[in-house]
């Protein structure tokens, strides 16, 4: 499992190759950025799937942290840690609330 804050926005874009059948995931964000496109391509290239937004307890791909960036003009921030697993793993119920990793069964 790869887990962490990857500073990427993937929206609801698919993280599997176009020729494969995959299950959609949900995500609160609406935009995809350059890092998000790289992360999605990475998942396609190595046969991995993003867990966020695909498990019970995190159906909407919730953010894992909220805060305020302390600058001259405070800006609200949200952070979404990503959890990524091999496509061969079966995703089941999450171990807690939104943003927690899923229990995995090979």
**Contacts (Cβ under 8 Å, ≥6 apart) of 34:** none
In this structure, is residue 16 part of a structural domain?
yes
Q: Output the pLDDT for position 45.
A: 94
| Most confident by average pLDDT, 1-5, 65-69, 72-76, 96-100 | 1-5
In this structure, is residue 95 part of a structural domain?
no
Q: Output the pLDDT for position 35.
A: 92
In this structure, is residue 78 part of a structural domain?
yes
pLDDT (tens digit per residue) in 58-79: 766 666 655 655 666 665 555 5
Question: Which whole-number Å values give the CA distances from 96 to 35, 46, 56, 63, 106, in the listed order?
Answer: 27, 28, 9, 14, 20
Query: Distance between CA atoms of 92 and 5, rounded to whole angstroms?
Result: 22
pLDDT at 93 over 60: no
pLDDT (tens digit per residue) in 19-43: 888 788 877 778 889 999 999 999 9
Q: Output the pLDDT for position 99.
A: 45
In this structure, is residue 27 part of a structural domain?
yes
Give how many domains the chain has, as a whole number: 1
In this structure, is residue 104 part of a structural domain?
no
Query: Distance between CA atoms of 86 and 73, rounded to whole angstroms?
Result: 41
Burial track 69-101 (b if 16+ CB lie within 10 A, e otherwise): eeeeeeeeeeebebbbbeeeeebeebeeebbbb
In this structure, is residue 41 part of a structural domain?
yes
In this structure, is residue 100 part of a structural domain?
no
In this structure, is residue 33 part of a structural domain?
yes
Range of the structural domain that residue 51 is part of: 2-89
Whether the Cβ atoms of residue 98 and residue 57 lie closer than 8 Å to each other: yes
- Statement: the pTM of the whole predicted model exceeds 0.95: no
């Amino acid at each position: 499992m790869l887990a962490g804050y990857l500073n990427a926005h993937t929206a609801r874009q698919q993280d599997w190759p176009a020729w494969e059948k995959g299950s959609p995931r949900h995500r609160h964000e609406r935009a995809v950025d350059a890092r998000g496109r790289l992360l999605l391509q990475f998942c396609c290239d190595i046969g991995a799937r993003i867990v966020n937004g695909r498990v019970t307890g995190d159906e909407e791909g919730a953010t894992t942290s909220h805060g305020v960036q302390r600058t001259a003009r405070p800006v609200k921030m949200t952070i979404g840690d990503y959890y990524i697993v091999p496509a061969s793993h079966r995703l089941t119920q999450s171990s807690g609330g939104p943003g927690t990793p899923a229990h995995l069964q090979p």
